[in-house]
Amino acid sequence: MIDTHVNLHHHLYQDDLEQVLNRAKEGGIHGMLTICDRFGNRDKIMDIIQNKSNFWMSIGAHPHEAKDHLELSINDLVSYSKQEKVIGIGECGLDFHYNLSPHEDQIKVFETHIEAAQDCQLPLIVHTRLADEITEELLKNAMRYKEFPLLMHCYTSGTNLLKSMLDIGAFVSISGIATFKNATDVRENASLIPKDKLLLETDCPYLAPIPMRGQRNEPLFIKHIAQFMAQYFNMEYDDLVDIVDSNFFSLFKKAKIQ
């Protein structure tokens, strides 16, 4: 199985990253998409994955970091995206919960990412929290102007936004939050996602799933998410794994398995 959203450059892995990756490999995790949170971290991330088969990366800036990326250009993103290992744009979007960057800065930087995805036709990896209406408006308007591949990552937002995004062709990724006891709404929304649009992710080192909750998350733990969701969907585990792996390559067409 492929973990579609990892943060391997995070400081929580600085002492034992290779052991973490070895555990994942031994557990059958045969690919990872590692996410860029700041444009300035791009080369650090590339150094981690450069010589690893079936490891890829995105390029972008998290909405928390928007205030430091007001000068980030479409060309900056598109130019770096031409590297073989770069298969997505983001993680980008809007986070009106933590408000670590002003709303207007987040919107400006998000629009830059959207235009980059329209230009290079790599999937846009979207983070949205407490910003359903404006996220919907920006993405639907952009899609009307020029279509682009779209992934709603770690989906915990509302049902209306989910349906709207599915209507414009988005893929939707579910994280370990779905295993949390009180995450009824996340599970109910997951049941609305067509199986050919579903992805799974850890978002490690964050959001460790049950039964690992409270620990540092790592790619191996995606198996717990898959086991939980297979049971929730009343499916065989192997069938769900095959589906989400196939979906990964349907969305991230630039990724080539080795």
- Cα angle: 123, vertex 235, 218; to 5 degrees: 55
Residues 89, 134: Cα–Cα separation, whole Å: 19
Q: Mind listing the pLDDT tens digit for each residue in 113-137?
A: 999 999 999 999 999 999 999 999 9
Asked if residue 12 is part of any domain, the answer here is yes
pTM above 0.85, yes or no: yes
- pLDDT of residue 88 exceeding 90: yes
110: nearest Cα among 130, 87, 134? 134
Give the domain extent around 6.
2-251
70: nearest Cα among 41, 102, 98, 99? 102
Asked if residue 256 is part of any domain, the answer here is no
Count CB atoms within 10 A of the CB of residue 63.
Answer: 32
Asked if residue 77 is part of any domain, the answer here is yes
- Cα angle: 19, vertex 56, 52; to 5 degrees: 45
Q: Mind listing the pLDDT tens digit for each residue in 173-216?
A: 999 999 999 999 999 999 999 999 999 999 999 999 999 999 99
- Tokens (6 digits) for 141: 């308007």
The number of domains in the chain is 1
Asked if residue 258 is part of any domain, the answer here is no
Residue 103 belongs to domain with CATH number: 3.20.20.140
Per-position b or e across 18-41, b if 16+ CB within 10 A of its CB: eebbeebeeeebebbbbbbbbbeb
Burial class (CB in 10 A: 0-12, 13-18, 19+), 71: exposed
- pLDDT of residue 257 exceeding 90: no
